[in-house]
Amino acid sequence: MKIKADTGRCIGAGMCVLTLPQVFDQSEDDGTVVVLDAEPSADVAPAVNRAVQLCPSGALSVEE
């Protein structure tokens, strides 16, 4: 899977970081999403999908 993040849409709610801190982080500057690992291993796929689903601004998407 490949994670795509649209920092223009991101509102810095932090739901992705809360869900999966080893894959997502927030910029110190404006709190927007920083993807630490854009192609994480399959075992975290359910958590990635949950982060995508919880994202309030629709800034995250996943390509299989």
Report the interface residues with other proteins, using CB under 8 A: 11-15, 17-19, 21, 25-32, 50, 53-54, 56-58
Q: Which is nearer to other proteins, 2 or 32 (CB)?
A: 32
What DSSP line would sit under the chain, residue for residue? -EEEE-TTT-----HHHHH-TTTEEE-TTT--EEES-SS--GGGHHHHHHHHHH-TT--EEEE-
Q: Which is nearer to other proteins, 1 or 14 (CB)?
A: 14
CB of 15 to other proteins, least distance (A): 8
Q: Which is nearer to other proteins, 30 or 64 (CB)?
A: 30
Q: In one letter, which amino acid is 18? A: L
